[in-house]
Amino acid sequence: MTETSWQPGCPVPIDGVEPRITLAHGEGARLTRQLIDAEIRSRFRSAPLAPLPDAAHVEETGGRIAVTSDSYVVSPLFFPGGDIGSLAVHGTVNDLAVSGAVPRWITLSLILEEGLPLPVLQRVLDSVARAASDCAVDVIAGDTKVVPRGAADGMYLNTTGIGTVIGSPPPGPQAIRPDDAIIVSGPIGRHGMAVLCAREELAFDPPPQSDSAPLTDVVKTLHRVADGNVRTIRDATRGGVSAVLHEWADASELSFRLDEATLPVSPDVRGASELLGIDPLYAACEGTLVAAVAPDVADQVVQALRRRPESAEAAVIGSAVDRTICPVTIRRTLGREQPVDEPTGAMLPRIC
Amino acid sequence: MTETSWQPGCPVPIDGVEPRITLAHGEGARLTRQLIDAEIRSRFRSAPLAPLPDAAHVEETGGRIAVTSDSYVVSPLFFPGGDIGSLAVHGTVNDLAVSGAVPRWITLSLILEEGLPLPVLQRVLDSVARAASDCAVDVIAGDTKVVPRGAADGMYLNTTGIGTVIGSPPPGPQAIRPDDAIIVSGPIGRHGMAVLCAREELAFDPPPQSDSAPLTDVVKTLHRVADGNVRTIRDATRGGVSAVLHEWADASELSFRLDEATLPVSPDVRGASELLGIDPLYAACEGTLVAAVAPDVADQVVQALRRRPESAEAAVIGSAVDRTICPVTIRRTLGREQPVDEPTGAMLPRIC
């Protein structure tokens, strides 16, 4: 960024000592939450924003609609298991689904860098169209902007999703109680590891594959089987399962205890994560959810999820406990209990 | 853009001879329309997208909602009369208003460049909050991404607006008939000239001021007075009044004849445009609309608009005529009739 980009007419002192945005502010972990709390929520205190960080529900004549918006800046644009186009659709559809809404419509806004080869744009748009069709959502409005060479990295997308709220959405993380079971719908950390390995051109064979996929049917199964005993559901994107549980610990004033032996991790992710020293708990998923459910329905839910191909490896990975000094702990396979820290961010930048 | 940004895993040949995105593809004029027609509309043939380029209307239980989405990449971030924050709110509100909807909710997604001073972000967010409050819209959902230094130019915003459709929206440009009057709600080209002069640090005194403002009340007045005789309304953003009339000429298969003597142009814009050789017809407005209305209500509409401070200089600037060889012509003050060309773009990049 040239310093002059915001100088004309701008009295803000640019002196190098004031606080600045860092990559860590974008990673979905502690610094992101702090930035959002301090700068965003404080200014936009609309009631709907408060309980639902990713999808807002608004009352509309005759029903409720849910709204979510995300920008996608993933690098590289294409990675094993997906690309920026399918990722944008899946991410938006999943934010709506976990909030209790049926995704219906999305908007698509493009920021293109001058010089982007047209075939790259075409391939991404084809992918958006295919994913939207798979998810039964219509792309209904859009926008195209072009910035000069060097003012973007190929292309960025924004998708805003609108859905209709069906039935009663889950009450939210503040409803979690001690002994509630924590369930994941499949192997964790696949998207984050796939993007990281593609970006750094790490030649793992086979390369980790992103789990980018719609969660609509998984969420439906969860609600059908748990029937009112779902406390909250989240897609574990930036910051991975760890970030979700830290948020829930804050909201519920409880702690979470995980058991490493039960954590589903695919062999490709396990290999890459051991070599790179990155715990899959911190790596993003884009087609895997985390749910807190009442303990007595947990086994039933897992059995039902395992009958679906996209959640065949669903598992109970831990439970809520009374608040301890650590918001999240994990019992390692050798039996030792360790804290799961909340990273401040920046470990895996630009994975979505 | 580094060429490698989309290479990993991407079989698209990058050989320098294939078509590439140019700045002109983002300017709202001919190349933008061609790109959207060829690449976007062809893939996303949802019915609602077709008639309304900027705001889609969808049937919802008990009513209709309108949806519009825009990314903002304006440079500089601050300019006389506004900034990227207020511009994003006004642009989104205006897209909804001219489509016949009452703006209700907006989403706000940020793409921040690493190193952006926090006070700059705060100033923009304050401006978003103020503009949203002025326009009576709630910011209900959002997202924050950070890209590394050099991968954005300070910050980009995306706002998606949702409104409720009230009454019957105007039928659209295909309903324009010969002799219909073309009305503008105020002086043209102010936003484009303000941003250009701020970016290039041209020291005009006084500097051209952007007209960035909500058009909701102007649109209401127009509908109330013209009562069913409004054919179509547009906010004349990228490409200015010229781009709007060229689109309407295509849709209606008519031509438009303007009269330069009636065109409202503010003294600051007139001075700058004469010196720079830029016709205000091509420069963007962000708080000024163009409307086509039946000829017998035109004077009444203009009188009513002039009673509002934000449209005190409203005027009939021309009329629709049977199709001639030129889609848009203007009678210059010396009496000569000249074609108004449709620029391919790139004259005023990044004005919104």
Write the CATH number for A93: 3.30.1330.10
B110 found inside a domain: yes
Q: Closest by alpha carbon to B141, among B109, B107, B110, B111?
A: B107
Residue B37 neighbours by CB distance under 10 Å: 10
Residue B17's contacts (CB-CB under 8 Å, 6 or more residues apart) are: none
Task: Please name the residue of chain A whose CA is at the shortest distance from the CA of residue B197.
Answer: A8
pLDDT at B23: 79
Q: Are residues B182 and B323 in the same domain?
A: yes
B351 found inside a domain: no
pLDDT at B338: 95
Query: pLDDT at residue A212 above 90?
Result: yes
pLDDT at B5: 39
B345 found inside a domain: no
C-alpha span between A193 and A282 (Å, rounded): 10
Query: pLDDT at residue A50 above 50?
Result: no
Distance between B13 CA and the closest CA of chain A, angstroms: 9
User: Do the Cβ atoms of B223 and B171 come closer than 8 Å?
Assistant: no
Query: pLDDT at residue A61 above 80?
Result: no
Q: What six digits make up the tokens of A105?
A: 């419509």
Q: Are residues B192 and B315 in the same domain?
A: yes
Considering only residues A243 and B13, tell me which one the structure prediction assigns the higher pLDDT: A243
Q: Are residues B159 and B194 in the same domain?
A: no
Q: What is the mean pLDDT of residues B215-227?
A: 95
Query: pLDDT at residue B343 above 60?
Result: yes
Q: What six digits make up the tokens of A149?
A: 């060479």
Q: Are residues A114 and A65 in the same domain?
A: yes
pTM of the model: 0.89
Q: Are residues A46 and A192 in the same domain?
A: no
Q: CA A135 → CA A305, A322, B61, distances in Å? A: 19, 39, 21
Q: Is residue A92 within 8 angstroms of chain B, CB to CB? A: no
Residue A144's contacts (CB-CB under 8 Å, 6 or more residues apart) are: A109, A110, A112, B25, B26, B32, B35, B36, B40
The amino acid occupying position B34 is Q
Kindly report, residue by residue over B103-118, the tens digit of the pLDDT. 999 999 999 999 999 8
Query: pLDDT at residue A35 above 70?
Result: yes
pLDDT at B32: 77
Q: What is the mean pLDDT of residues B274-288?
A: 94
Q: Where are the alpha helices (DSSP H) in chain A?
A: 30-35, 84-98, 118-134, 190-199, 216-226, 240-252, 267-276, 298-306
Considering only residues B199 and B52, tell me which one the structure prediction assigns the higher pLDDT: B199
Query: pLDDT at residue A5 above 60?
Result: no
**C-alpha dihedral over B176, B181, B182, B186, to 10 degrees?**
-140
Q: Which of B140, B165, B190 is the last residue of a domain?
A: B165
A289 found inside a domain: yes
Give the mean pLDDT of chain A. 88
Q: Is residue B108 within 8 angstroms of chain A, CB to CB? A: yes
Q: Are residues A245 and A274 in the same domain?
A: yes
C-alpha span between A29 and B8 (Å, rounded): 27
Of all residues in chain A, what percent carry a pLDDT higher than 90?
69
How many domains are contained in chain A? 2
Looking at A28-37, A234-243, A315-324, B102-111, which range is the least confident one?
Answer: A28-37
Q: What six digits make up the tokens of A129?
A: 């169209």
A295 found inside a domain: yes
B3 found inside a domain: no
Q: Which of B111, B142, B165 is the last residue of a domain?
A: B165
Range of the structural domain that residue A266 is part of: 173-339
Query: pLDDT at residue B50 above 50?
Result: no
User: Do the Cβ atoms of B171 and B294 come closer than 8 Å?
Assistant: no
C-alpha span between A303 and A224 (Å, rounded): 13
B12 found inside a domain: no
Q: CA A83 → CA A114, B11, B35, B104, B145, distances in Å? A: 20, 13, 21, 33, 17
Burial A135-169 (b: 16+ CB within 10 A, else e): bebbbbbbbbbbbbebbbbbbbbbbbbbbbbeeeb
Q: Are residues A231 and A310 in the same domain?
A: yes
Q: Are residues A198 and A289 in the same domain?
A: yes
Q: How confident is the model at residue A39 (pLDDT cuts 50, 70, 90)?
A: confident
Q: B269: part of which helix (H) or strand (E)?
A: helix B267-276
Do B117 and A14 lie within an 8 Å CB cutoff?
A: yes
Q: What is the mean pLDDT of residues B144-164?
A: 93
Q: Which of B105, B136, B165 is the last residue of a domain?
A: B165
Length of chain A: 352
**C-alpha dihedral over A201, A152, B137, A40, to 10 degrees?**
60
Q: What is the mean pLDDT of residues B270-293?
A: 94
Q: Are residues B57 and B94 in the same domain?
A: yes
Length of chain B: 352
User: Do the Cβ atoms of A92 and A106 come closer than 8 Å?
Assistant: yes
A16 found inside a domain: no
Distance between B98 CA and the closest CA of chain A, angstroms: 15
Intra-chain end-to-end CA distance of chain B, in Å: 21
| A6 vs B120, B149, B160: nearest CB | B120
Q: Are residues B126 and B189 in the same domain?
A: no
Which residues of chain B neighbour A126 with C-beta distances below 8 Å? 43
Q: Which residue has the tokens 């490409």?
A: B239
Task: Please name the residue of chain A whose CA is at the shortest distance from the CA of residue B119.
Answer: A12
Mutate: best of B40, B143, B157, B344, partner A, most A CBs <10 A: B143
pLDDT at A48: 44
Kindly report, residue by residue over A215-271, the tens digit of the pLDDT. 999 999 999 999 899 999 999 998 899 999 999 999 999 999 999 999 999 999 999
Q: How confident is the model at residue A49 (pLDDT cuts 50, 70, 90)?
A: very low
Q: Are residues B333 and B210 in the same domain?
A: yes
ipTM of model: 0.89
Q: Are residues A205 and A233 in the same domain?
A: yes
Mutate: best of A2, A144, A157, A200, partner B, most B CBs <10 A: A144
Q: What six digits make up the tokens of A232?
A: 């909250």
Query: pLDDT at residue B130 above 50?
Result: yes
Residue B217 neighbours by CB distance under 10 Å: 14
Which residues of chain B neighbour A151 with C-beta distances below 8 Å? 73, 152-153
Intra-chain end-to-end CA distance of chain A, in Å: 21
Query: pLDDT at residue B302 above 50?
Result: yes
pLDDT at A76: 96
User: Do the Cβ atoms of A339 and A195 come closer than 8 Å?
Assistant: no
Q: Please report, for the domain that includes residue A226, its CATH number.
A: 3.90.650.10
